[in-house]
Amino acid sequence: MPKRKNPDDVKPDHVRPARKPAASRMTATAQTVAAAALGIALVVSPGTGQAEDWALHGHDLGGQRFSPLTQVNRDTVVNLKPAWTAKTGVKATFQATPIVVDGLMYVSLPGSHVLALDARTGKEKWRYTHQLRWQKLCCGPANRGVAVDGGKVYVGSVDGRLVALDATSGKVVWDVSVATYQGETENTAQLAADDPLGKVGDVGATGVGIAMAPMAYRGKVLVGINGVGYGLHPDAGLSVVGVSGKYGQSGFLAAFDAASGSKLWQFDITQQGWEGEFASDTAYGVPLHRDIAAERSAAATYADSWRYGGGSIWATPTIDPQRGWLAFGSGNPSPQMADSSRPGDNLHTASLIVLDLETGKRVWHYQQVPHDRWGYDVASPAVMFDLKTDAGARPAVAHASKMGWVFVHDRQTGELLVRSEPFVPQMNLFSPPAAGEGVLVAPGIAGGANWSPTAVDAQQQLMFVAALHLPTRYIANSVRREDGSELTYASTQEGKERSGTLSAVELGSGALRWQVRTEEPLLGGVLATAGGLVFSGIGQKRIGAFDSGTGEQLWSAQVDAGVNAPPITYSIDGRQYIAVAAGGNSLFGFPIGDTIAVFALPE
């Protein structure tokens, strides 16, 4: 069948050409995991139904978000039509990855509610309504998904809890507190009298919540907290304020017993000695423009700053079952941007971290940005795969960063193997906040790649990255307090440019195979399939499908809200479906809704 272009397709000149250089199965689905044929992917073993289901947040333990399904492919995707839609009744920022096991779809909603639906029809089977223990949320209501294993559905909540539900009925099995916040919180009244941000309310501030989808594996449920370095978010678009002082606490990742909810271990992101080596450059050789002498001089004064050090965890860990390790990213240090009260490298914030699954002990880490002053969280999920080399397959882990580079590491040692070409424009990178009009930096505080999950086609050795181009102006401020002391803070303003990119990055060389530019920033994540396709939200309330080899857009469809969540695919009775949460993102100005949209080929 010939390929037909949709009239709303991205224009051809925006494509960069190629260049050379289940309840009964749940436990088995999540636990019988090994390296696949060809040694290129971490997938569930044959016979567990993984090819048909979307049983894990990243599809497989390695988080590749690559499906072997091929019914919807380069030739047939043009015929993709709506199969069903469901309205959740909760209109707010919607970021969830649906989980599909044994014909049921489990979806977390804004506010940490959970729906179970018939994945064939969208008919509701049960609903869990979460009761918040506090109403003031640090970081908004968004929740990024559930974990399903052993007859239970696990959800982390925006009020810092981990809840286990019966997968058949939705009834609570256990409910435990993961973290609470007892520290100080910033407010706009602290800002200078002539600062416009001091004249509005706020939509968020430093605190504690859980946005990430948990990972359930071998009797453990892994979950991390966020919000501990969030900073003040005035009600003014993407503006953020970081105030020097004792705001925040250490972020952490913890393992809980899947049967009882008891805590097994906890890894704290910031610990005593977090000052590190006072690095003047990044580990990959880019200057950070730090005043190292001043930081060393202040270190004794702020010796306890690690206690408030931040390091939120925004994304689900990925698993190496052969080594018994997990990988995840940590967020920016606290205070956000304002660095005078936290001298040193601020270990282990803004880092890719690998832990031992049984003990929670650190195996290795790679700090992408020592002493971060730009909000450059390691926010999207790490992806495990085997890198093809002349010497054979090399176990690797990759991450698409907020700075606009993909980093590829040796999975065993953490050695940096590849730093890609930038997949978004870069300008004044690592220039510190400046007084007056500030300094315009790209990527800005939103990235680059934000929390959006990437996808890896291990056969083609490509990573697909949805990203934002939103330059940020970083401004250094100070205000005299009533007691005569000076309060320093940093704030951001949005730049005028606003667009997005969808890129295919060659994992071996770091070159861009192709790139599509979009009018709106891309936020939500991607899906890749063996049918030669990449699916992503593309702005204007649309989802699109692209040829994974060339970047040519082959299909798109309109929905009734922003597509700012990762698409998935699954198959039931031989029919392949594409599903996505369409509920927009209020912080980024994408239209809000409450739709789960599902597509399939005509029967």
Average pLDDT of the residues in 521-528: 98
pLDDT in tens, 361-405: 999 999 999 999 999 999 999 999 999 999 999 999 999 999 999
CATH number of the domain residue 339 falls in: 2.140.10.10
Residue 7 included in any domain: no
Residue 318 included in any domain: yes
Residue 265 included in any domain: yes
The answer to whether residue 530 scores a pLDDT higher than 60 is yes
Residue 553 included in any domain: yes
Residue 3 included in any domain: no
Cβ contacts of 135 within 8 Å, gap of 6 or more: none
Q: What total number of domains does the chain contain?
A: 1
Domain encompassing residue 357: 12-600
Confidence of residue 313 (pLDDT cuts 50, 70, 90): very high
Among all chains, which residue has been given the structure tokens 């940490």?
Answer: 112
The answer to whether residue 115 scores a pLDDT higher than 50 is yes
pLDDT at position 150 is: 96
Percent of the chain clearing pLDDT 70 (strictly above): 92
The answer to whether residue 559 scores a pLDDT higher than 90 is yes
The answer to whether residue 11 scores a pLDDT higher than 70 is no
Cα–Cα distance between 469 and 400 in angstroms, integer? 14
The answer to whether residue 19 scores a pLDDT higher than 50 is no
The answer to whether residue 18 scores a pLDDT higher than 50 is no
pLDDT in tens, 212-225: 999 999 999 999 99
Burial of 151 (0-12, 13-18, 19+ CB in 10 A): middle
In this structure, the number of other CB atoms found within 10 A of the CB of residue 536 comes to: 29
Residue 430 included in any domain: yes
The answer to whether residue 24 scores a pLDDT higher than 70 is no
pLDDT at position 48 is: 32
Question: pTM above the 0.75 mark?
Answer: yes
Among all chains, which residue has been given the structure tokens 């002498």?
Answer: 293
pLDDT in tens, 251-268: 999 999 999 999 999 999
- For the chain, the distance separating the N- and C-terminal CA atoms, rounded to the nearest angstrom, is 17
Nearest residue to 543 via CA among 503, 598, 490: 598
